Amino acid sequence: MKLLITGFGPFGNVKVNPSWEVAKRIALVHPAGVEVCARRLPVVFDGVGDVLWEAVEQFAPDVVLMLGVATKRSVISYERVAINIDDSSKVDNEGKTYPGTPIRLDGPTAYFSTLPVKEMRDATLAAGLAAEISNSAGTYVCNHTMYECLYRIEHSGLKTRAGFVHVPQLKTNGAIELDNMVKAITIAIEIIKKHED
């Protein structure tokens, strides 16, 4: 299985983004039978889709697993859905905000993850790690990225499966440690691989 895993760089008060730290670790140590390419994405509404898609076209993955940080969450959150809206008063790294702007005028209201989120959640919990299924990826760059990825997969006619996972901020809100974040995502990848085999 070829896996493209992405994380984001620093933004706002997040000086070290755990999503990229996890993605880098997964690229170094990953489940057997999985070829991994890790890419860091910019925290910008404009252009993040292009950076992601360039990696998809270069690597031709079977699965795209996007990671982001949810600073107010304390568990691994497997995202079920991305909605067609950018709506945030919080600036991105280009200083831009989007007050309720559709991501794609010709796109559907929402896209559902094409990954087995329930099994991923259940396997993570079975390993003694805190996890949940989330029905909202927010309306910031993470949601935008998930939506863009699934939109482009559909419109390119690819069979690539894709989904998004939020990890907690490091050492806040009683969040799990980085090693356990890596463990949780590794478990999730193993579940995904079972569905690809």
User: Does 142 qualify as catalytic in the annotation?
Assistant: yes
Q: Which of 21, 30, 37, 142 is catalytic?
A: 142
- From the candidates 21, 79, 144, 149, which is the catalytic residue? 79
37 is an active site residue = no
On whether the CB atoms of residues 143 and 119 are closer than 8 A, the answer is: no
Tell me whether residue 119 is one of the annotated catalytic residues: no
Which regions of the chain does DSSP assign to beta strands (E)?
2-8, 35-41, 63-70, 76-79, 81-83, 86-88, 98-101, 110-112, 131-134, 161-168
d(Cα 169, Cα 149) in Å, to the nearest integer? 23
Active site positions, annotated: 79, 142, 166
